Amino acid sequence: MENSLLYPISNCYRVRISLDGLWKFQFDPEHKGLAENWKDGLKNPISMPVPASFSDLFTTARERDYCGDFWYETEFFVPEDAFSKDIVIRFGSVTHRAVVFCNGIEVGSHEGGFLPFSVKINKAVVPGKPNRLVVKANNELSETTIPCGRTITLSDGRKAAKPFFDFFNYAGIHRSVWLLLLPQESITDYSVDFRLEGQDAFVNYQVKTNGAHPVEVALYDQEGELAARASGNCGTLHVRNARLWKVRDAYLYRISIVLKDGDQILDEYSEKTGIRTVEIQGTKILINHEPVYLKGFGKHEDFDVLGRAFNWAVAKRDFECMKWTNANCFRTSHYPYAEEWYQMADEEGFLIIDEVPAVGMQPSLGIVDTGPRKYKYFFEAPSTAELLEVHKRQAAEMICRDKNHPSVIAWSLFNEPETISSYSKAYFSEVFDAAKDLDPQKRPRTGALELTSSPDSCQCFQLCDFICLNRYYGWYLFGGVELETAKQKFMEEMEKWGEKAPDIPFVFTEFGADTLGSEHKLPGNMWSQEYQVKYMQLYFDVFDSFDFIQGELVWNFADFMTSEGIIRVNGNKKGIFTRDRQPKDAAYLFRERWGR
């Protein structure tokens, strides 16, 4: 059960009970919680909302920037008649790692702050009485975890995170926590892939259970009418006159999986699904055999006060803003988002490039401080073998969780790593091979390359089914009065890419300029809204000059928080929207361009 990443549902056979709310919370800077048995109850707790990032809830820098161990505690009740079920606690995410105790007994642990995990607690829970749930969490960074960074000790003895990435290292229980009551013999996973023939669709499925009894699978249309049925743990559903899931025109069926012992139903799992295919053909990205040009955003799970916590209202506002700009796509930069984002994208017909948290894999980019390093190349260090296993495991968890979402059209397996050495090529070859084997739909695999990964130096672009580029001509280099030079250099690079990789699509996954929403200048200077508009027009001119460019995902959807630094004014201001989701002038430019 610990490996099942199915989204929690309730029906006649499954029960989900929310444990969200105010929990007890305590920092543990001296790492004494284990020795003092905080697993049996916190000693001097304060209240803490779940889900939430803890950093932005405090008024002191010591608490906002806290790095180290921290603990959560809550109580829950399980009725006595529930013990015929598997009793499971399911965490949407705990950033970055967690150890879980139930009534003082360790019941599980997890590494990776952006993906769910579950723990079975039958042997620890007490029927008919309040049960204590305690979580020991930690948000320290290292070069063997993703995202990458390091942890330093300040002069006063406190620890501090030094991310190798340009977004705030928010931590906490960021997503919902559920108490699940599940059948002892249950459905643990399923997968689907699709084949289109004329007006019909063939849905190949595989179902995993933790027992030996057979399953029946059915597909129902949006009116609740049966569209197809099949029996067996693997098989094919033949859908006649299939309604396809299309870009910004979603049609969702409901797949129902029933586990049976004769006429008795042991378990049932159902959720919405869409029929669509994804493929790369030459320089085109095809959805249902039709070319699509990607228009949209790099994003962050980031909002004032909430930090990185999931919130339905924020997600709704984001989708409405994206629809207003006529976008059709976003990248989950730089980590898998809460599952609810994907459910909404399924409903709205948005495309997602789903990204594993492989960010910060560079010796130095000048934006972030990676500190002194013994090795010239990032993947040259002996610790790389440990990092590789962490990377592959988190990619596997992401693909397992998200593989059935029609909105997910590609896997992004890195963001801006060092790719100019033989070490990096060997490293990423393993990651890309593992991802291909894991995905039943064989979606395209990609990753975002920054400027040092040039057509003359990059050794990893050949691994990608389509190539993603992050470029900042006109901002980090050749900015301001050199904007025309920026355009010339940009055009020259793209001409080289056209010669180097002529038969593959290119998608720009980052391009942008920091802009203060309050700043207007004539003529447009850097940081003004006028400059951001002029900068974007430069990029549009370049994009429109090359047929192999098949997408533009601007950086960023909205302003977001970063670590403190002299090039950041209370965070990254490259948003097309402000952090409170109001449009800057450039948003109107994108709305007009993408609405053509």
Residues labelled as active-site residues: 416, 510
134: β partners = 73, 101
Q: Is 44 exposed, middle or buried (0-12, 13-18, 19+ CB in 10 A)?
A: exposed
Determine phi and psi for 570, rounding to 5 degrees.
55, 45
Strand-pair partners of 28 = 69
Choose among 300, 298, 320: nearest CA to 591. Answer: 320
Spatial separation of the C-alpha atoms in residues 346 and 331, rounded to whole Å: 14
Handedness of CA 26, 29, 34, 37 (dihedral sign): negative
The answer to whether the beta carbons of residues 144 and 45 sit under 8 Å apart is no
Query: Rounded to the nearest 5°, which phi and psi values hold at 504?
Result: -145, 145
Between the alpha carbon of residue 188 and those of residues 32, 88, 308, the distances in Å are: 37, 13, 28
Bridge partners (DSSP) of residue 259 are 215, 267
> Residue 424: helix, strand or coil by DSSP?
helix
Q: Residue length, the chain?
A: 596
Q: What is the full DSSP assignment across 401-461?
A: HHTT-TTEEEEEEEES---SSHHHHHHHHHHHHHHHHH-TT---EEEEE-TTS-TTT-SSG
| 566, two tokens | 């002299």
Find the helix or strand (DSSP H, E) in which 301 lies.
none
Please tell me the distance from the alpha carbon of residue 538 to that of residue 473, in angstroms, as a whole number: 9
Return the closest-CA partner of residue 331 out of 411, 406, 396.
Answer: 411
8 Å CB contact between 116 and 91: yes
Q: What CA–CA distance (Å, rounded) separates 1 from 109?
A: 13
SS (H, E, C) 478-540: CCHHHHHHHHHHHHHHHHHHHHHCCCCCEEEEECCCCECCCCCCCCCCCECHHHHHHHHHHHH
DSSP 95: B
130: tokens are 């309040």
Amino acid occupying residue 406: P
Note the Cα 593 to chain centre separation in Å: 27
| Rounded Cα–Cα distance for residues 206 and 472 (Å) | 44
Q: Which residue has the tokens 């029609």?
A: 406
* Beta-ladder partners of 410: 353
Q: Is 220 exposed, middle or buried (0-12, 13-18, 19+ CB in 10 A)?
A: middle
Adjacency order of strands within the sheet including 15-18? 15-18, 177-182, 86-91, 117-120
Tokens of 111: 């590494």
Token readout for 112 is: 């990776």
**Residue located via tokens 């430069």:** 538
